[in-house]
Amino acid sequence: SSARTISSAPEANTVCVLGKEYKRDDMTNVTPSLLEKVGRELHNTKDHPINLLKKLIVHHFHKTYINTAGNPLFTSIENIPPVVTTEQNFDSLCVAKDHISRSRSDSYYINSETMLRTHTSAHQRDFIKMGLDRFLVTGDVYRRDEIDSTHYPVFHQMEGVRVYLKQNLLPRSKTMFEDGEETDEKQSRHTLETSKALELELKTTLERLVKYIFGEETQTRWNSCYFPFTHPSFELEILFRGEWVEMLGSGIMRQEILDDAGASFKTGWAFGLGLDRLSMLLFSIPDIRLLWSKDERFIDQFKHITLPMLTKENLNKKDLSFKPFSTFLPRCEDVAFWITPEFNENDFHELVRATCGDIVEKVELIDSFENSKTGKVSRCYRLVYRSMDRAVTKDEVDELHSKLRENIEKLLPVELR
Ligand code: FA5
Ligand code: MG
């Protein structure tokens, strides 16, 4: 995430996104606070849960699908900026001109031609056109939504696409195509055999992925659903701690998309997987907003996690759970004293706990020096007062801290400064 995002003043007639100026018009609805998130790229942020999950999935595809020389068949594309044309996000995917997802109340527009992608599907056609047959595209996506513990206007998706020549899907059949009728099971141009073969490949691939992430015994179920760019379409849910959780949308790619990509003679399937909620399940993160935290107490908890620790064999053995921390502001107070040889630091910590309880989050030695004339040694400690569940008042901290000073004077072999 090297590009800096600067949001223009609302009255300016341009808007700056990832260093580029765009003309505002009557569709523009991106806000400065949203634009601050563009360029964060949590999926490319080292040690971030979304980055860990992305790497885990890419690793699975790379080791499972290889050619005879042992090289990965899927290309992973991870750095495509989220600014796309409305043509890429909607038209290239057969989304009708009056589909609700196009409205200003559902999507973020930079102007009437340019927007922040609402899904990674926006790149399907272009990468097929470039000649790729198997690829994954990971990126940040944007939708106008409320903010609560499971909804955020920015989240992350991984798109997966696989397209086939006849010899790779139906080597013994004469054709993948017919001039027929669309039914619940197939598009008009696909034979039923083609549609069923694609469905089987799609479902097998995705069930294998889920079992790799969550374990062999994971229960899954497929629901049929609707997307303008796939038919038939399927949604995959997994049973996680007794609850069915939606994991991805998928389906057989509309043949019109392949036509547009110059690949009419190929057929394919695609899926779009949400990374945010899955990473929350995997690491027991209770609130989606934590994913955006710049507090180092968040990212620090994931620094020790390596890919082998995330594989199914290890998942249940290792404790990967996120440990909640307070999001209230801290109040810091220092205490300094001259110590004697009898002073023991653990006794001091114990006294802090006995006097103040859990409200002291941290005790840190911030200064220590020896007076060259008297030979006395001074120590200064910083106490961080903070509660897990409420804002702590200044009066409360003042009272506790003076009580602590009293107790130090009374009970420890030190002289307060
Ligand atoms: C899509 O975005 C389709 N582009 C997926 C697709 C791709 C279908 C290719 C067919 C072929 P949907 O809006 O359902 O579909 O989102 C896909 C996944 O993203 C969901 O299953 C969910 O895991 C995740 N997701 C959707 N909305 C949110 C949200 N507000 N917050 C977090 N995750 C979300
Ligand atoms: Mg959905």
Residue 286 has what pLDDT?
86
How many angstroms does the Cα of residue 81 sit away from the middle of ligand 1?
A: 18
Question: Is residue 263 located within the same domain as residue 385?
Answer: no
Q: Is there a contact between 9 and 91 (Cβ–Cβ < 8 Å)?
A: no
Residue 148 has what pLDDT?
76
In a domain, 50, yes or no: yes
Residue 3 has what pLDDT?
47
In a domain, 204, yes or no: yes
CA 159, CA 280: separation in Å to the nearest integer?
19
Confirm or reject: Cβ of 251 under 6 Å from ligand 1.
Answer: yes
**147 pLDDT more than 80:** no
In a domain, 263, yes or no: yes
Residue 20 or 145, more confident: 20
Domain that holds residue 155: 14-315
User: Considering the chain, what percentage of its residues have pLDDT values greater than 70?
Assistant: 96
For the stretch 13-35, pLDDT in tens is 999 999 999 999 999 999 998 99
Confirm or reject: Cβ of 129 under 6 Å from ligand 1.
Answer: no
Confirm or reject: Cβ of 155 under 6 Å from ligand 1.
Answer: yes
Beta strand spans in 89-133 (E)? 109-111, 114-116
Q: Give the pLDDT mean for 170-187.
A: 98
Q: Report phi then psi at 95, rounded to 5.
A: -80, 125
Classify each residue of 130-165 as buried b or exposed e, where b means 16 or more C-beta atoms within 10 Å of its C-beta: eebbbbbbbbbbbbbeeeeeeebbbbbbbbbbbbbe
Q: Give the pLDDT mean for 394-411.
A: 96
Helical segments of 236-361, H only: 255-260, 275-283, 296-299, 307-310, 312-315, 345-356
How many angstroms does the Cα of residue 365 sit away from the middle of ligand 2?
A: 51
In a domain, 287, yes or no: yes
- CATH number for the domain spanning 237: value is 3.30.930.10
- CATH number for the domain spanning 408: value is 3.30.70.380
Count of domains in the chain?
Answer: 2
The ligand placed nearest to the CA atom of residue 231 is 1
Among the ranges given (2-6, 61-65, 138-142, 239-243), the one the predictor scored with the smallest mean pLDDT: 2-6
Residue 2 has what pLDDT?
43
For the stretch 310-367, pLDDT in tens is 876 666 656 788 888 877 889 999 999 999 999 999 889 989 988 998 888 889 999 9
Question: Is residue 129 located within the same domain as residue 258?
Answer: yes
For the stretch 43-91, pLDDT in tens is 999 999 999 999 999 999 999 999 999 999 999 999 999 999 999 999 9
Q: Give the pLDDT mean for 150-161.
A: 94
Q: Give the pLDDT mean for 147-170.
A: 93
How many angstroms does the Cα of residue 147 sit away from the middle of ligand 2?
A: 17
For the stretch 286-303, pLDDT in tens is 888 889 998 888 999 999
For the stretch 247-275, pLDDT in tens is 999 999 999 999 999 999 999 999 999 99
